[in-house]
């Protein structure tokens, strides 16, 4: 599991009495939570539909739609059913408490509030929610890992074994041209298997916290040209023009090895999905204390539906390239983790049949907060990722 970044939990407080909201907010504000407020059930549901909350404090007795009905509707919606709901209530009879649990509440706090009790219960359920999310992520990670080992890692080895056996058994019957074709196919399969193995090892080190993060000032120009040199042969095989527009001394504050792998994976991905005669370009621009890097191509593009599957560990999404190149999608998952580890964001723009742009941001310099490294990105992380 990767370590948690600093996160302010967001809590919605719902009560028809403004004074009750104020009291609860004053108690929780001391814990550093972000808060939003609603004074009736309809407004609460509207807020939850347009924002993402980590926990809801919900009054039971409200005019119109009471807290029981609000809770019931939120539990029926797949997008909101996992948000923990704590009832705020002056009703302490067993029947009301039982009904609250039946409609989906995880706990209740009685009015008037005891500050320590409210704070402790909120903290407990936020911790449980985080633990549940970690468990789901761990299961998805495990499933993805075994899927790659069982299927994708086996493919290049099947090709290697099959091709080398065919060449070995019929070597004298093939002419030099045919033998060279077999050697090239074996070489491509070897490169594919090695690249996948490298990504698997990097990913596993990232998940177990064994990959050290060593940020310092680096020049993006150097890593762009380094990767272009490395991938130029693959581009030339498809007659693709591969170029960099990143100027010298384009400095960012990040881990060199991680940024190197991000650029390599994005350029390799662009070459994979660009047909013969196309172009792949890496460029950058400065924006609000960050360097925004763009890897653009004149490739086959992606639909909104496909974009939504990228960078997700819980969704297996891999398409063959324009020359039938194979992959697992693991490289893009690594890109997301490495970019976010360095305080940036990654996102995609594309038009089917025309082009794609993979963009990521990296901070221009180290920004320190109170006692910890604070990396703040002004760029939105779209739902595409």
pTM summary value: 0.50
* Cα dist from 168 to 70, 161, 172, whole Å: 71, 10, 9
Read off the tokens for 122. 């909120």
Give the count of beta carbons closer than 10 Å to the beta carbon of residue 243.
Answer: 13
Beta pairing partners, 290: 287, 363
Residues of the chain with CATH 3.40.50.2300: 10-136
pLDDT of 303 reads: 87
Quickly name the fold that domain 213-385 has. Heat Shock Protein 90 (3.30.565)
Rounded Cα gap, residues 32 and 10, in angstroms: 10
Phi, psi of 12, deg, nearest 5 = -105, 125
Q: Is residue 24 within 8 Å of 15, Cβ to Cβ?
A: yes
For the chain, residues classed under CATH 3.30.565.10 are 213-385
Homologous superfamily, domain 10-136: Response regulator (3.40.50.2300)
Residue 121 and residue 86 in contact, taking contact as beta carbons nearer than 8 Å = yes
Q: Are 292 and 361 in contact (CB under 8 A)?
A: yes
Q: Are 274 and 297 in contact (CB under 8 A)?
A: yes
Q: Are 346 and 367 in contact (CB under 8 A)?
A: no
Per-residue three-class SS string for the chain: CCCCCCCCCEEEEECCCHHHHHHHHHHHHCCCCEEEEECCHHHHHHHHHHCCCCEEEEECCCCCCCHHHHHHHHHHCCCCCCCCEEEEECCCCHHHHHHHHHHCCCEEEECCCCHHHHHHHHHHHHHHHHHHHHHHHHHHHHHHHHHHHHHHCHHHHHHHHHHHHHHHHCHHHCCHHHHHHHHHHHHHHHHHHHHHHHHHHHHHHHHCCCCCCCEEEEEHHHHHHHHHHHHHHHHHHCCCEEEECCCCCCEEEEEHHHHHHHHHHHHHHHHHCCCCCCEEEEEEEEECCEEEEEEEECCCCCCHHHHCCCCCCCCCCCCCCCCCCCCCCHHHHHHHHHHHHCCCCEEEEEECCCEEEEEEEEECCCCECCCCECCCCCCCCCCCC
pLDDT in tens, the chain (385 residues): 444 444 688 999 999 999 999 999 988 888 889 889 999 999 999 999 888 899 999 999 898 899 999 999 999 998 898 899 999 887 767 787 888 888 989 998 888 878 888 999 999 999 888 888 878 777 776 666 666 565 556 667 777 888 899 898 999 999 999 999 889 888 877 876 777 677 677 766 766 666 678 899 999 999 999 889 888 888 888 999 999 999 999 999 999 988 988 998 899 889 989 999 999 999 999 998 999 999 999 999 988 888 887 877 555 545 545 544 544 456 788 888 889 989 999 999 999 999 999 999 999 986 543 333 333 333 332 222 2
Instruction: Please state, as a whole number, how many other Cβ atoms lie within 10 Å of the Cβ of residue 298.
Output: 19
Task: Spell out the residues 6+ positions from residue 325 whose beta carbon is closer than 8 angstroms to its own.
Answer: 192, 272
Q: What is the pLDDT of residue 216?
A: 92
């Amino acid at each position: 599991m990767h370590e948690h970044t600093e996160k302010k939990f967001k809590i919605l407080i719902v009560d028809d009495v403004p004074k009750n909201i104020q009291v609860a907010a004053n108690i929780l504000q001391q814990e550093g939570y972000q808060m939003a407020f609603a004074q009736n059930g309809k407004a609460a549901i509207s807020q939850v539909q347009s924002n993402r909350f980590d926990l809801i404090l919900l009054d039971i007795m409200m005019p119109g739609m009471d807290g029981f009905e609000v809770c019931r509707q939120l539990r029926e919606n797949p997008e909101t059913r996992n948000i923990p709901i704590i009832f705020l209530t002056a009703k302490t009879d067993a029947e009301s408490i039982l009904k609250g649990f039946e409609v989906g509440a995880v706990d209740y706090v009685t009015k008037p509030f005891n500050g320590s009790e409210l704070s402790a219960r909120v903290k407990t359920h936020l911790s449980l929610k985080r633990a549940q999310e970690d468990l789901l992520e761990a299961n998805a990670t495990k499933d993805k890992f075994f899927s790659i080992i069982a299927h994708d890692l086996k493919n290049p080895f099947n090709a290697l074994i099959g091709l080398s056996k065919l060449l070995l058994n019929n070597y004298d019957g093939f002419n030099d041209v045919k033998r060279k074709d077999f050697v090239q196919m074996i070489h491509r399969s070897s490169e594919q298997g090695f690249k996948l193995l490298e990504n698997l090892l990097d990913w596993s080190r990232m998940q177990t916290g064994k990959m050290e993060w060593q940020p310092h000032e680096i020049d993006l120009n150097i890593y762009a040209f380094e990767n272009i040199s490395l991938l130029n042969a693959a581009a030339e095989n498809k007659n693709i023009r591969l170029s960099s527009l990143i100027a010298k001394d384009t400095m960012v504050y990040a881990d060199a090895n991680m940024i190197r792998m991000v650029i390599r994976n994005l350029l390799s991905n662009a070459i994979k999905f660009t047909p013969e005669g196309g172009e792949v370009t890496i460029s950058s621009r400065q924006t609000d204390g960050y360097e925004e890097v763009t890897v653009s191509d004149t490739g086959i593009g992606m639909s909104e539906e496909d974009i939504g599957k990228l960078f997700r560990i819980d969704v297996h999404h891999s398409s063959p390239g324009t020359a039938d190149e194979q992959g697992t999608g693991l490289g893009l998952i690594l890109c997301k983790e490495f970019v976010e580890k360095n305080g940036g964001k990654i996102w995609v723009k594309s038009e089917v049949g025309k082009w794609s742009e993979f963009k990521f941001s990296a901070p221009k310099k180290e920004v320190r907060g109170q006692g910890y490294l604070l990396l703040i990105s002004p760029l939105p992380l779209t739902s595409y990722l």
